[in-house]
Each structure stands twice: as structure tokens, then as C-alpha cells.
Structure 1
Amino acid sequence: MYQKGQYIVYGIRGVCEISDIITMEPPDSRQRRLYYELHPYYQKGSRIVVPVDSGKTVIRPLVTREEAVRLIDEIPQIREMNVETDKQREARYKAALNTCDCRVWISMIKALYVRKQDRLRQGKKMTDLDQRYFRTAGENLHSELALALGVSREEMAECIRSRVKGEK
């Protein structure tokens, strides 16, 4: 069980702070349950209440500073996601986001970047679907790493770029 004040990753909602742990009796039950009251870090004013024992959505601790640095250093070795057909593209992207796994997000971002470059060479734009998932995966990754490393989310892309280029 996580603690009040702890930062976690909650599904596709991303980084959240556990502001409270409360006991409630759900309308469809007679048994009281523990719930996390979550506040998405980058969505001020939002509130999510989720059962502590819910297995429907991935809830995991935020990466540590050391894990974030190690992950950024591993980016060149992470292979891009392979999507065989356009038909399975959205399902693969959605599944990748739902893993809440930074390495999977990086794999997806790399695949989308390569696809974007290929389309640009052909004189085409990035599709709306690709653009949406590229932005979402990037925001999720940058949000978590930024908080772990103590930098702003806006600075995170440049921090990653410079570290991967060897400007540690």
C-alpha cells in the first residue's frame, strides 16, 4: 500500500500525488473499502478516488532519480516498437500506454518518430492518430522523469536529448 503524500503513476492519468487514504462504503456494497484520493500532478484541480485494492488500472511508484538517469542512459539501446500493419497500430499504441512502463513508452516514441521521418520523406504529414499517441507517450514519460529529476516537464525533452548525446 502506498502512503499519503507519495507520488505514483496511475494508468494513463500519469503522475498523481496521494493526498489522502479514506474509507468509504460504495453504493453497490455493504462493505467499507479503503480508497486513494489522487490529485494528478499536471492537472491542477482534478481529483480521482480509486480503491486501494483495484486491479483494473496500473498503479506503480514513480521511478527514483537513479532509475530515471539509468533509463535515459539506456534510451539508445531500447528498440522501437514493431507494428506490422496499420490495422493494429492504434491497438498497439493504446496497449503500450496502458502498460505504464517507461521503456515501452520510449519504444513507442521511437517507432512514431521513425514513422514520422519516413512520412516526411514521402511528402506526407504525421497522421492525427500518430500525433496524438506520440504526444501522450511523450507527456507521460517527460512528466514522470521531470518529477524524479527535479526539472520542469518542459525542460525534460532537452535534458534527455543532451544526456543521450553525451553532454551529461
Structure 2
Amino acid sequence: MYKVGEVVLYGANGVCEITEITTKTIGKISVEYYVLKPVCSDSSTLFVPTHNEQLVSKMRDVLSSDEIKNILSQKTDNEIWIDNKSERCERFKEIIAGGDCKKLVELIRRMHFHSKIQLQKGRRLHMSDERFLKEAEKMVCDEVSIVLNIDRGEVLPLVLAG
């Protein structure tokens, strides 16, 4: 069970702080919730039922500084690209939903590599690919900037250097 004050990654919502654990009663049913505030956005508050295993499984502790540095230092095989758009979208959805930083970094690197190839051909990424890229970048940049205590703008060059 998580505690108030802990910082977690919550799916595509990014890095959040658990600001409280509260109970809300709807009708005769009382449900305990984690109250999450995204660290990089003041605009929303998330309520995650503490006993909902599916939703709680989307929460994970942020990585340590050493874990992030290890992920960023690993090389990525940029040549792997899924040509079938629907298969690619499903795979990207899985990666983003999983929230695994290593897979997200690999996804960002592959997409930037593919984007360069597309630009050389006078093309761009598909709109859906761009959306996935932005979501993956947000998740990684939020976590890396918080853990390494660096500006968000400094993160993407670190990710792409691998």
C-alpha cells in the first residue's frame, strides 16, 4: 500500500504525488481512494480506488537515479519498425499503458529515427504515431526530470543520445 507523500508514476498521467488517502461514501458504499496530483500539471486531481487492483496496478514507484541513468545509457536497435499501422498502434498503446520507462525510451528513439527517415522521403509521421510519441515523451520527460532534478527541456536530448 502506498503512503501519503509518495511520488509515483500513474500510467499515461505521468508523475503524481499521493496527496491523501481518503474515503468517499456514495449511497451506502464507502470506498477508499488514493488522491493523486500530477507533479507537472496543476489542472487535475485523480482518484484511484485503493482496492481496485486493475487501477492500482497502473501505479508504480518512480525509478531511482541509477535506474534512469542505466536505461538512458543502453543502446536501442532503431531499425525495428512495425509497418502495419494497426499492429503498430496496438503495440504503442501497450507500451504506453504499461508505463515501463525502458520500453518508452526505446519507443521514443525508434520513432525519432523513423521520423528522420520519413523526412528524408519528404514525409512525416502518421498523426497517430505523433500522438503516441508526444505521450511517451511526456511520461519519460516528467519522470526523468523529477528524478534527476533537471529541467524538462534537458531530458529529450539525453534520451535521444542513446
> What TM-score do the two structures reach when normalised by structure 2?
0.87
Distance 1:156 1:87 in 2: 30
- 2:89 counterpart residue number: 90
Q: CA offsets, 1:10-63, max 9 Å, x none? A: 111111010001122345x63x33210000111113111111122223110011
1:134 Cα deviation from its structure 2 partner:
1.1
- 1:48 counterpart residue number: 46
**Structure 2 portions without partners, runs of 5+:** none
- Aligned-pair identity (%): 23
**Structure 1 portions without partners, runs of 5+:** none
Q: CA offsets, 1:78-112, max 9 Å, x none? A: 44564251231211111110001011111211221
* Partner SS, residue 25 of structure 1: strand
- 1:35 counterpart residue number: 33
Given the superposition, is the C-alpha separation of residues 26 and 87 from structure 1 closer, same or farther in structure 2, using an over 3 Å criterion? same
> What TM-score do the two structures reach when normalised by structure 1?
0.84
Distance 2:52 2:32 in 1: 10
- 1:130 counterpart residue number: 129
Given the superposition, is the C-alpha separation of residues 9 and 54 from structure 1 closer, same or farther in structure 2, using an over 3 Å criterion? same
Amino acid at match of 2:110: A
1:148 Cα deviation from its structure 2 partner:
0.6
